Amino acid sequence: MMISLELVSEEEIAIWYGDENDREIADIIATTKVAVEGWIVENFGAEKAPSDYFLHQDLKIRGVWGHLDLCGLVDRAIDAHNEKGNE
């Protein structure tokens, strides 16, 4: 399984652990570093978070650069969480 993301608005994403069939268990969070990191800690605790994720995209909401920014934010949050687990 993987982390799945779906843009809800310019400022919010739906995020869940699973595929598109598990969308009903999504949490709606802000598209900020703190919110994404908090969700990862809440859902994975001391365990490593999966490094693969899928962003269900609607480029009309954020555009290509906004999409890439969000991917970078998620990448950094997952990497930071997983590095803490190795310390």
What tens digit of pLDDT does each residue of 29-82 get?
A: 998 989 999 999 999 998 999 988 888 776 666 676 677 788 888 999 999 999
Amino acid at 41: V
Nearest Cα to Cα of residue 58 among 3, 10, 1, 18 = 10
Rounded to the nearest 5 degrees, what angle is found at the Cα of 27, between the Cα atoms of 13 and 30?
40
Nearest Cα to Cα of residue 26 among 46, 43, 49 = 43
Q: What domain range includes position 66?
A: 3-85
- Chain-centroid distance, C-alpha 43: 11
Residue 17 neighbours by CB under 8 Å, 6+ apart: 1, 2, 3, 4, 25, 43, 50
pLDDT > 80? residue 21: yes
What pLDDT is stored for residue 44 in this prediction? 94
> Total structural domains in the chain?
1
What pLDDT is stored for residue 46 in this prediction? 86
